[in-house]
Structure formats: C-alpha cells, structure tokens
Structure 1
Amino acid sequence: MKREDALINWLQIQVVADARPTDQSAHSTAAFFHQLLQEDHLCRELGYKKEGGWYVLFGLSDSGPWESRYPAEMVESLLMAIESEPRFNQ
C-alpha cells in the first residue's frame, strides 16, 4: 500500500476510534494501519490535530519530521458514515 493511502486510512479510522472509545473494531483497524506505517513506511510518532477545517497529520521518518493536511470533511466522512448506520450504533 502506498504511504499516502496508508496515512489517510490511519487518520480516518483513528478519528473514528477516538470518537468511539468502545468500538474495538475501529481500535483494531487503527492499530493495523499504525503498524503498517511503522513497518512498511518507517513512520514513527504519528499524531494529528484539528485546525479549523483541516486535520494536520504529523510524524517522524528517517528523513525527519513531516506534516500533511487533509480537509476535515474528507477525514470525518468515515465517522459520519458509521454513525449514520443504525446497526453500528446499538
């Protein structure tokens, strides 16, 4: 998987996991992408913050610190889809 795809997948599911602390599936999936980023792309100290209408994803790699920005609407789309599905909210 390309680094950029893995980063956005991790960010989207991590936002879901943070919003839904009892959702073990979200936490497991976030852990999977986190491990993939560490092992395949040598990304460490991953984190994110929300700034206005953007999510800022940051971390370290062998080439040093980096940041990427993603529109909040895109990042939160997975959370909104999950929360709008009744079978996931029982």
Structure 2
Amino acid sequence: MKSLQDALYNWLTIKIVSDARPDDTAAVETEQMFYEILTEEHALADIEITKDEIMYYVSYKIDGESKSSRFPQELIDVMLNQINNEPEKYHNYPSE
C-alpha cells in the first residue's frame, strides 16, 4: 500500500471493529495485516490512538520523529455502525 494516509485509515477502521468484536476472526486478522503494513512497509513505531467528540487521532514515530494524523469519527465508525445495524449480514466464521 503506497499511501501512508490510506494505510492508517484502513488500519484504524478495522482496529475499531476488531476492538469492539474481539471474537471476529476476520476483523482481527485484517487488523493484524494492516498493522504489519504500517510497521513493515511504512516503518511506523509507537502507534497510539486517542479520540475526542469529533476526531480520532493516531500518533506514531517514523524515523524517530513524532507525527500524527486525524480522522473524523463518522468516517472511521461507519464500518462498525453498519455491522451493528445489520448483524445478520456479518457472521463470524471461526478459523479451523
């Protein structure tokens, strides 16, 4: 994934889902995949998430320099909200 911003967005969106649904193996595995993209392809370290009433903030270090990105909550929470609104469409299939 070329864009750091896209990788952060994808990781944060699925991270919120996997944190809310720790038994959802697909969400957990997808979050791990995007986390590896952040740490291996983009060389991020010390990744932390905070939020307020409007935004999610992702802080991290890259090449020892502290940086951050922010994302509107409504943009990040859309996947979790959709799952919660239509749970019958999002079954968890256990790994074998």
Q: TM-score, normalised by structure 2?
A: 0.85
Bigger Rg over Cα: 2
Instruction: Summarize deviations over 1:28-70 as a string: whole Å, max 9, x none.
Output: 0000000011111101121211111110111111051111111
Displacement of 1:21 after TM fit? 1.4
Aligned partner letter, 2:35: H
**Could you say what the CA RMSD is over the residues aligned between the two structures, in angstroms?**
1.5
Report the identity percentage: 33
Structure 2, unaligned stretches of length 5 or more? none
Contact 1:83–1:89, Cα closer than 8 Å, also in 2: no
The residue that corresponds to 2:22 in the other structure is: 21
In structure 1, distance between residues paired with 2:30 and 2:58: 18
In structure 1, distance between residues paired with 2:67 and 2:81: 28
The residue that corresponds to 1:41 in the other structure is: 42
Residues paired across the two proteins, number: 90
The residue that corresponds to 2:90 in the other structure is: 88
Aligned partner letter, 1:11: L
Structure 1, unaligned stretches of length 5 or more? none
